[in-house]
Amino acid sequence: MREYIENLRKELHQHNYRYYILNQPTLTDKEFDDKLRELQDLESGYPEFYDPNSPTQRVGSDSTGSFEQAVHTYPMLSLGNTYSFEEVGDFYQRLLKSLQEPFELVCELKYDGTSISLIYENGVLVRAVTRGDGVKGDVVTANVKTIRSIPLQLQGDSYPDSFEIRGEILMPWDVFDQLNKTREEQEEPLFANPRNAGSGTLKLQNSSEVASRRLDSYLYSVLGEELGFQTHYESLMQARSWGFKVSDAIRVCSTLDEVYEFIQYWDVERKRLPVATDGIVIKVNSFEQREELGYTAKSPRWAIAYKYQAEKALTRLLSVSFQVGRTGAVTPVANLEPVLLSGTIVKRASLHNADIIETLDLHIGDSVYVEKGGEIIPKITAVATEFRNPEGEKVRFITECPECGATLIRNENEAAHYCPDEWNCPPQIRGKIEHFVSRKAMNIDGLGSETVQLLYANGLLKSVADIYSLKVATLSSLERLGVKSAQNICNSIQQSKEISFERLIFALGIRYVGETVAKKLASAFRTIDDLERASFEELIEVDEIGERIATSVISYFATPANKQLVESLKQSGLQMSLNDSSPEALSSVLEGKSVVISGSFTHHSRDEYKKMIEQHGGKNVGSVSSKTSFILAGEKIGPEKLKKAAALGIEMVTEEEFLRMIGQSLPSTPPIMGTLF
């Protein structure tokens, strides 16, 4: 039994890691809760096998180590989950037995997002901390300040001098859909659901990127000393008056039947909401009664969560097709007998990769369970093997490209298979062209997917370089393209020659180089020739450029066909260097110096210091190496950077020393806290 318990702990630890750290859950919430409950029962029955580090003794963590950590004044505990009216009834009966007096329950929607703690002092937001492990979390104040539904300054004057409010950070469905559409166009992995997308966004180092994703919030718990509230509902209504976004989906219930009515109503109506929900939270309204009920080690005794079952349907697998994308990645797609699921007809579901197919042990004709739940992307979760036709052919991942016949490859530590013949595989060629002309790249109007396919089929576009050889007369002779359309396309092609250097780098379609990375590369190397000559060591010194991206950039420019393409684009007159007008040069005192910034600062923000370094001829780099000239060191410098700097003998320059170095006097304005690595 000991071995079984230890194996179950290991399994749950792994699922916790995949859920909170990787944001790649492989179990449903109910499956995880069932396993956790089994472990709790076993530990109760076998106390001799107690382990202080068991998953039952802690709350899962979403901390990444990339942010400053802060301890919660009040631990952020989790709620016990229920999945049936019977379990809700049991909770109600426990309250009756414990309190032995009338009580009210407050029912609220359980928003499926990222838990956040907001600290306000004198009506001003001073700190935002993620849930983390429940005891301490990551400080993400700069990112949270970009969320418009979270007030930076409270309204009125009735709020306490100091208090904490908790809630959920959410990514709305429409933002999620657009984000995944963009990622799909760039052949980046899709987010499984808005929760994962929102959590990942909140942990981005670039707060401007966070702002662009339009996160939202709902707040639901006010904490502090001597707040003066008697009930939870009263505290929420006050919080709303101070400017917080508090849900309208709240009901004070006096009976169990009223709780059931609320659950049943929102099981239907929640599907109309702009954000994801996965259940109902039921809380005792009276703070005095909460105090009497108390807590277990992991959760309050006065609250519980009712979780809706994920919607799923049983349908039949008709076939599996394989799609080839711009980067050569081959994606298997399940073609299904149409089935109604979460209000839409589902005909297809992504199978992601060969490992998923093998794990499911799929056969053509299988009855399969398709699920959405909180997932917007339909997925096959299981096979009803009891209905299997023994003559059904086992689904196997293909070994050759379905488009060009090349033998597929699978890189080490990657789940996807790729077609390596990128210069002769039609969907890869068309995909590269479509990416190059897209709005966020070279923004060439008129060359949509259908037009690109038409030009490719007629032999007019065999590569990106051919775009700049297109003529009005040739285009206007094609079906569906008149003289006016042809002229507009050619005008837009001509205008694309003025598109900035960083967008050109993005347009080239280098694997793993998205818009943000392209800007980093353009800023660091400034010309296409310098980028082409960049070594691995020089690349990884650039902020946010890791080994995978560096290797991909080097591989791109080492390929003769890519070198030829870049040369052709040069001859066509595209922008091959960064515009020197930004940032304005002030001196050359830091010329040739590579500077790493780490810690929190008093006089200026990190972004301001980065700009100063560039204005005085220096180069911002993200990691410490033997080529680092010095570290601009604030308070609480990152421990790994400190350790590596000491080993390499890198000079540490204080904020004041740096300002004197560039000839700037110390500011007399109130301090601004910078972001900590």
pLDDT given at position 343: 61
How far is residue 102's CA from residue 95's CA, in Å, rounded to a whole number? 10
Question: Residue 12 to residues 28, 135, 462, 629: CA-CA distances in angstroms?
Answer: 13, 20, 51, 45
Burial readout 651-670 (b: 16 or more C-beta within 10 A, e: otherwise): ebbebeebbeebeeeeeeee
The pLDDT of residue 218: 95
460/550 same-domain check:
no
Between 11-25, 124-138, 218-232, the lowest mean confidence (pLDDT) is in: 11-25
pLDDT at position 69 is 87
Same domain, 86 and 215: yes
Query: Distances in Å between the alpha carbon of 62 and those of 17, 24, 114, 136, 277?
Result: 8, 12, 9, 10, 20
Task: Choose one of 307, 335, 351: the last residue of a domain.
Answer: 307
Task: Give residue-wise pLDDT tens across range 408-458.
Answer: 999 887 888 999 999 899 999 999 999 999 988 999 999 988 899 999 999
pLDDT of residue 72: 92
* pLDDT at position 538 over 70: yes
Judgement on whether residues 128 and 243 belong to the same structural domain of the protein = yes
Final residue of a structural domain among 458, 481, 498: 498
Q: Give the start-end residues of each E strand in 301-418.
A: 303-307, 312-324, 329-341, 344-350, 367-371, 379-383, 417-418
Percent of the chain with pLDDT strictly greater than 70: 92
The crossing angle, in degrees rounded to 10, of helices 449-457 and 426-437 is 130
Query: What is the average pLDDT score of the chain?
Result: 87
Say if 382 falls within a structural domain: yes
> What range defines the domain where residue 384 resides?
310-420
Number of C-beta neighbours around residue 259 at 10 A: 23
154 and 6 inside one domain = no
- What is the set of active-site residues? 110
Q: Is 254 in the same domain as 355?
A: no
Query: Do residues 377 and 246 both lie within one domain?
Result: no
Residue 674: the pLDDT is: 29
Domain contains 32: yes
382-414 in b/e form (b: 16+ CB < 10 A) is ebeeeeeeeeeeebebeeebebbebebeeeeee
Q: Is residue 100 part of a domain?
A: yes
pTM for this one? 0.56
95 & 191 share domain: yes
pLDDT in tens, 13-36: 777 656 644 556 777 777 777 788
Which among 51-55, 99-103, 176-180 has the top mean pLDDT?
99-103
Residue 370, pLDDT > 80, answer: yes
**pLDDT above 70: residue 510:** yes
Looking at the fold, whether 250 and 276 belong to one and the same domain comes out as yes
148 pLDDT above the threshold of 90: no
What domain count does the chain have? 6
* Residue at 16 is within a domain: yes
Q: Which of 14-28, 73-87, 157-171, 530-544 has the highest mean pLDDT?
A: 157-171
- Check residue 17 and give its pLDDT: 56
> Looking at residues 45-58, what average pLDDT do you find?
72
| DSSP assignments along 611-633, one per residue | HHHHHTT-EEESS--TT--EEEE
Q: Is the pLDDT of residue 58 over 70?
A: no
In degrees, rounded to 5, the angle at the alpha carbon of residue 622 between the alpha carbons of residues 619 and 626 is: 80
Question: Are 170 and 271 members of one domain?
Answer: yes
Distance CA 296, CA 276 (A): 29
**Domain boundary pick from 463, 498, 533:** 498
Residue 666 pLDDT grade (very low, low, confident, very high; cuts 50, 70, 90): low
| Contacts (Cβ under 8 Å, ≥6 apart) of 134 | 58, 59, 61, 72, 75, 76, 77, 78
- Whether residue 576 lies inside any domain: the answer is no
Same domain for 487 and 623, yes or no, is no
Does a structural domain hold residue 337?
Answer: yes
